[in-house]
Chains A and B, each alone.
Chain A
Amino acid sequence: MWKRTYALFVARNLEFFRDRSALAWSVLLPILIIFVFAFAFTEENPEKFKVGMIAGGELEGASAAFMETRYINFIEFAEIEPNLFKVERHQIDLMFDPTTSRYWINQTSPNGYIVEKLLIAAYADSGESLQQLLVEGGEIRYIDWVIPGVIAMNIMWGALFGIGYVIVRYRKFGVLKRLRATPVTAIEFLSAQILSRLWLLLAVNIVIFICMDYFVGFRMHGSYFNLLLVFTLGCINLICCGLLVAARISSEEVANGVLNLFSWPMMFLSGVWFSLEGAHPWMQKFALLLPLTHVTDAAREIMIDGAGIVQISDHLLVLGVSSVILLVVGARIFQWE
Chain B
Amino acid sequence: MSVILQVSNLVKRFGQLTAVDDVSFEISEGRCFGLLGPNGAGKTTTIEMMEGIKLPDAGTIRYQGKALGAQFRNEAGIMFQTTALQEFITVHEIMVQFSRFYPITVSIDELADQYALHEFLNQDTRKLSGGQKQRLLLAMAMINRPRILFLDEPTTGLDPQSRRNLWKQVQSVKEQGATILLTTHYMEEAYELCDEIAIMDHGRIIAHDAPDALLAAHFDDVVVQIHADDIPRVIGEKEFEAIYRNDNAHIVTGDVNKTIEHLLHFDIPLDRLRIRARDLEDLFLELTGKELRT
Residues of A within 8 A of B (CB): 170, 173-175, 177-178, 180-184, 336-337
Contacts and interface: CB of A to CB of B under 8 A. Distances in A.
Contact of B98 (A174, A182, A336): A182
12 contacts: A174-B82, A175-B85, A177-B83, A178-B78, A178-B80, A181-B52, A181-B76, A181-B80, A182-B98, A183-B70, A183-B73, A183-B101
Contacts of B80: 174, 177-178, 181
Contacts of A175: 83-86
Given A174-B83, A182-B98, A183-B73, 15 more contacts: A173-B84, A174-B80, A175-B84, A177-B53, A177-B80, A177-B83, A178-B80, A178-B85, A181-B52, A181-B80, A182-B73, A183-B70, A183-B101, A337-B53, A337-B54
- A170, A180, A181: which has the most chain B beta carbons within 10 Å? A181
B74 A183 contact: yes
A305 B74 CA distance: 55
B72 to A, nearest CB: 9
A337 to B, nearest CB: 7
Contacts of A178: 78, 80, 83-85
Contact of B102 (A174, A180, A182): A182
Contacts of B74: 183
A204 B109 CA distance: 36
B21 interface: no
B233 to A, nearest CB: 36
Sorted from nearest, which 3 A-B pairs have the closest CB atoms?
Answer: A173-B84, A181-B78, A183-B73
B51 interface: yes
A126 B78 CA distance: 89
Given A181-B78, A337-B53, A174 B84 contact: yes
Nearest to A179: B101
A337 B84 CA distance: 13
Contacts of A336: 53
Contacts of A183: 70, 73-74, 101-102
Interface string B154-191: 00000000000000000000000000000000000000
A314 B233 CA distance: 87
Contacts of A182: 73, 98, 101-102
A180 B85 contact: no
Nearest to B75: A183
Contacts of B102: 182-183
Contacts of B101: 182-184
B114 to A, nearest CB: 20
A180 to B, nearest CB: 6
Q: Which of B53, B54, B70, B74 counts the most A-chain CB atoms under 10 A from its CB?
A: B53
A298 to B, nearest CB: 35
Nearest to B76: A181
